[in-house]
Amino acid sequence: MTNVIDFQNVSWKRQGETILHNIDWQVTSGQHWAILGLNGSGKTTLLNMVNGYIWPTAGTIRVLGKTFGKTDIRELRKAIGWVSSSLQERIRGTDLAEQIVISGKFASFGLYDQPVAEDYERAHQLMEQVGCSHLHGRTYQTCSQGEKQKLLIARGLMASPALLILDEPTNGLDFITREELLASIQQLAAQPDAPTILFVTHHIEEILPIFSHTLLLREGTIFDKGKTENLLSASTLSGFYRLPVEAKEQNGRMWLSLQEHIPNTN
C-alpha cells in the first residue's frame, strides 16, 4: 500500500507561536480518515498544509507521492478535492447547480471555460451519486444549506481527485439534513473507485463506520491516531477531552455524553 499523505516530524510556527508541533502522520491508499479536534486544535492549519497553501517550518510533507519543494503545487491541487462551507461564499447565487459541479473540473468559481457534453453527463452522474440530481436547472440561491453542501461535494469529485477533503461539511445543518448528508458521504466512501477521504469534524457522532482510521488532534499535536474502533473508547476520549465522558455505540457510530457528576454531600 502506498502513502497518500506522509507527514514526517512536521511543525509550523506563526509569529513565534507553534501552531503544529512534530506531526508524524501517514494515510495509505484504501483508508478513509476522520480528523477530530476542538476549535483551535490546528485542524485548519493541517488541511492548509495538505493542500500546499502553507509550508512547514520544519519537517517534510509528501502528498500523493509528491514531495513539497520538489513539485508543482498548483498541479498537485488538481488531484485534491476540498469541500468546505466557507467555499459557499465564493459561488454566485445565480449559477445553476450543474454549472457549479462542472466548475470543479476547471478548479474555478464560476464557469468560464466551455464544457463539453461529457462534462454535463458526468456532472449529472455525480449529482445523482450524492443525492442531488433533482437540483438540475436550479440556481444556487434557491438551494437549501444541505443541498449546497451536496453540490460542493459533487463539484469536488468532478476532476476525479485521488484525495477528497471534507472540512466540517455538516456545519450549520439541522439534524435531519445532517443525517441525509452523512448518508451520502457513507455511500460515496463505499464506492470501489472512491478517492481517499479526510473527514474533519469536532462531533464524535459524525464519524461514520466507513472511516477506518481517526486522528485526534489537540492543541497542535497528535493526541492519538490509529484504527477508529480502538480510539473511540470512553477512556481514550476522556483523556482527549480532559473530562470524564461516556461513549455509547449505536448503529456503528459513537455518541458521547458527560459522566454524571454526583456532588459529595458528606
Strand partners, 20: 12
> What pLDDT is stored for residue 263 in this prediction?
52
> What pLDDT is stored for residue 261 in this prediction?
59
As a whole number of angstroms, the distance between CA 266 and CA 259 comes to 20
Span 99-152, pLDDT tens digits: 999 988 876 666 556 778 899 999 999 999 888 999 999 999 999 988 998 999
| More confident site: 226 or 15 | 226
Q: pLDDT class for 1, splitting at 50, 70, 90?
A: low
Closest Cα partner for 182 from 214, 150, 159?
150
> Quick check: pTM over 0.85?
yes
> What pLDDT is stored for residue 215 in this prediction?
97
DSSP 3-48: EEEEEEEEEEEETTEEEEEEEEEEEETT--EEEE--TTSSHHHHHH
Span 224-244, pLDDT tens digits: 999 999 999 999 999 999 999
Asked whether the predicted pLDDT for residue 266 surpasses 60, the reply is: no
- Specify the CATH number of the domain 1-79+161-233: 3.40.50.300
> What pLDDT is stored for residue 67 in this prediction?
93
Task: Please give the C-alpha separations between residue 119 and each of 81, 99, 100, 266, in angstroms, as whole numbers.
Answer: 17, 10, 12, 72
Half-sphere exposure of 215 (CA within 13 A, CB side): 26
What is the pLDDT averaged over residues 193-197?
A: 93
> What pLDDT is stored for residue 75 in this prediction?
87
Span 79-105, pLDDT tens digits: 999 888 777 777 889 999 999 999 888
Asked whether the predicted pLDDT for residue 246 surpasses 90, the reply is: yes
As a whole number of angstroms, the distance between CA 224 and CA 205 comes to 18
| More confident site: 59 or 159 | 59
DSSP the chain: --EEEEEEEEEEEETTEEEEEEEEEEEETT--EEEE--TTSSHHHHHHHHTTSS--SEEEEEETTEETTSS-HHHHHTTEEEEEGGGGGGS-TTSBHHHHHHHGGGT-SS--S---HHHHHHHHHHHHHTT-GGGTT-BGGGS-HHHHHHHHHHHHHTT--SEEEEESTTTT--HHHHHHHHHHHHHHHTSTTPPEEEEEES-GGG--TT--EEEEEETTEEEEEEEHHHH-SHHHHHHHHTS-EEEEEETTEEEEEEPPP-----
The single-letter code of the amino acid at 29 is: S
Asked whether the predicted pLDDT for residue 265 surpasses 70, the reply is: no
64-73 contacts: CB < 8 A, separation 24 or more? 64/4, 64/162, 64/163, 65/2, 65/3
Percent above pLDDT 70 for the chain: 95
